[in-house]
Amino acid sequence: MSKTLFEKIWDKHVVTSIPDGPDVFYIDKHFIHEVTSPQAFAGLERRGLPVFHPQKTIATTDHNVPTIHQELPIREELSRRQVQKLNENCAKFGVELYGLGHPFQGIVHIIGPELGITQPGMTIVCGDSHTSTHGAFGTIAFGIGTSEVEMVMATQCILQNRPKVMRINIEGALHKGVVSKDIILQIISQISASGATGYFVEYAGSTIRGLSMEARMTICNMSIEMGARGGMIAPDETTFSYMHDRHFMPKGAEWDKKLMEWKKLYSDPDAVFDKEITFDAAAIEPMITYGTNPGMGIRITGVVPNPENETDESERNNLKKSLKYMGLEGGQRLLGMKVQNVFIGSCTNSRIEDFRLIASVIKGKKKDPDTRVLIVPGSQQVAAQIRAEGLDKVFEESGFAIRQPGCSACLGMNEDKVPPGEYCISTSNRNFEGRQGPGARTLLASPLTAAAAALTGKVSDVRSFLDEQNGN
């Protein structure tokens, strides 16, 4: 019987199915961090239970950590307590922890792939919605709630209803200045922030096959922003090349054995999807959001939609509310609008390729003196590679300060916040009200668009910089 990639992995991990209920679903790897784990550990302690498979659980500190002076005590009390509690719980329950000061510390969805922990065919969960990032390797990966974190700790299983399966095909070549962040923002703007609710999405097509692994991770990361349970991409030679010789990858004969298994992970040619959509890569331009959910996106040269043109009263009122919060008006162009902050980081765009892209745009140029720019690597490994490649010198010469690894200004749970009323062009994944701090106004965009804004202090079309580089 023909199966989709999702069905092949899901079926292999079902322990048992409850009649008219969910599946008991086995989890291969469980990532935890300091925010959603304390209550789960406390639940185990109350019940007198150990972590069932501590070797299948990996912990790191990321959400609450400061990105300067990580060698000093954390100043914010809640953050300090949560990080300390994770240290204590991991020691007590025998869980491997990559905490502050560890060479493997970093954002949970960055360190899994770069260390070779994430492998095709796995099931992966974490108490964080952007666990879907790992799906770029042909895994079923999704975020879970705190009570579910405890369930996985106690049993290595979770109760899950099987979602429907959607395939999104992107075909053709991308234009200059268009990258994976633009692809996913375009998709979400077209199908809406709830358009994939109830589905697990597989991304396919010639455009996807032509992307690097880090670009694929960006796309899978934001699957959740259109309501999907997760996103995935079938592994191929690009995947295997990226994975080879990573720290925790199998070696020698074991690698060869695993590779034979991984090469079987694809959707059969006649597999049936519950829904299928196709996009033309040539129609995608650099994107930017204007509102308070990631589905509110437009081309960098476009105009903000006018609420009065909305026929649905609920949609019209939602758009009005969003534009009021953002300080924008229908029909307004964002191009040329002043921004006070640029944030380049998060589990969406803080890998080495992102920083290479930025360096290619800013090299030999100075940042706008009035714009605050935060450059935050996703992990200690990325930070070390930035230094090894000399990218830190490019950033310093342009006036960009590089911070230490962490989630930083993605979510305002640490010291890196955007001041109330100010705009921030951000490479992160969410632009909800107050996401980057109370009253902060977030414009989601690609690393290229963020780099252009850092140089000009306003919303800019990076293609003009690329034209200059090419002598056009």
Q: Residue by residue, what is the 3-state secondary structure of 377-388?
A: CCEHHHHHHHHH
The answer to whether position 260 is within a domain reads: yes
With a cut of 70, say whether residue 472 has pLDDT above it: no
Question: Whose CA is closest to 217, among 56, 352, 104?
Answer: 352
- Report residue 65: phi and psi, to 5°: -75, 145
- Residue 365: pLDDT band with limits 50, 70, 90: very high
Q: What stretches of 197-318 adopt beta strand conformation (E)?
A: 199-204, 230-232, 275-280, 287-289, 297-299
| Domain that includes residue 232, residue range | 5-276
Question: pLDDT tier at 274 (50, 70, 90 boundaries)?
Answer: very high
Does any domain span residue 292?
A: no
pLDDT tens string 22-75: 999 999 999 999 999 999 999 999 999 999 999 999 999 999 999 999 999 999
Lowest mean pLDDT among 59-63, 79-83, 412-416: 412-416
Is residue 97 a part of any domain in this protein?
A: yes
Is 343 found in the same domain as 200? Answer: no
**Domain assignment of residue 50, yes or no:** yes
> How far from chain centre, in Å, is Cα 137?
14
**Residues 342, 248 share a domain:** no
Answering whether pTM is above 0.95, one says yes
User: With 80 as the cut, is the pLDDT of residue 9 above it?
Assistant: yes
Residue 412 has pLDDT above 90, yes or no: no
Q: Is the dihedral of CA 259, 261, 266, 268 positive or negative?
A: positive
> What integer pLDDT is reported at residue 467 of this predicted model?
78
- Domain end among 230, 247, 276: 276
User: What's 233's domain CATH number?
Assistant: 3.30.499.10
Give strand pairing partners of 426: 343, 444
Q: List residues bridging with 425 in a β-sheet.
A: 342, 443
- Alpha helices for 192-224 (secondary structure H): 206-209, 213-221
Does 276 have pLDDT greater than 70?
yes
Residue at 32 is within a domain: yes
200 and 85: one domain?
yes
Provide the mean pLDDT of the chain. Answer: 97
Q: Is 21 exposed, middle or buried (0-12, 13-18, 19+ CB in 10 A)?
A: exposed
Query: Same domain, yes or no, for 252 and 388?
Result: no
* Residue 284, in any domain of the structure: no
Q: What are phi and psi of 92, to 5 degrees?
A: -70, -40
Residues 307-328 have pLDDT tens digits of 999 999 999 999 999 999 999 9
| pLDDT in the model for residue 94 | 98
Q: What are phi and psi for residue 2, nearest 5 degrees?
A: -70, 140
- Which helix or strand (DSSP H or E) is residue 133 part of? none
Q: Which residues pair with 199 in a beta bridge?
A: 164
In a domain, 367, yes or no: yes
* DSSP for residue 283: G
Mean pLDDT calculated for residue range 237-262: 98
Q: How confident is the model at residue 223 (pLDDT cuts 50, 70, 90)?
A: very high
Strand, coil or helix: 125:
strand
Strands 287-289 and 275-280: unpaired
**Does the pLDDT value for residue 470 go beyond 70?**
no
Q: Are residues 240 and 352 in the same domain?
A: no
Average pLDDT over residues 194-209: 98
Coil vs helix vs strand at 116? coil
| pLDDT at 204 (0 to 100) | 98
207-228 burial string, b = 16+ CB within 10 Å, else e? bbbebebbbbbbbbbbbbbbbb
- Domain match, 208 and 353 both: no
Does one domain contain both 376 and 231? no
Query: Are 352 and 227 part of one and the same domain?
Result: no
Cα distance between residue 107 and residue 63, in whole Å: 8
What CA–CA distance (Å, rounded) separates 61 from 406? 8
Show which of 261, 276, 291 is a domain's final residue. 276
pLDDT at residue number 401? 85
Q: What is the pLDDT of residue 125?
A: 98
Number of structural domains in the chain: 2
Same domain, 366 and 271: no
**Residue where a domain terminates, one of 227, 249, 276:** 276
Q: Is residue 282 within 8 Å of residue 173, measured between CB atoms?
A: yes
pLDDT, position 413 = 85
Q: Are 236 and 369 members of one domain?
A: no
**Does 3 score more than 60 pLDDT?**
yes
For residues 266 and 374, membership in a common domain is answered with no
State the pLDDT at residue 349. 98
The answer to whether residue 437 sits within a structural domain is yes
Residues 39 and 132 in one domain: yes
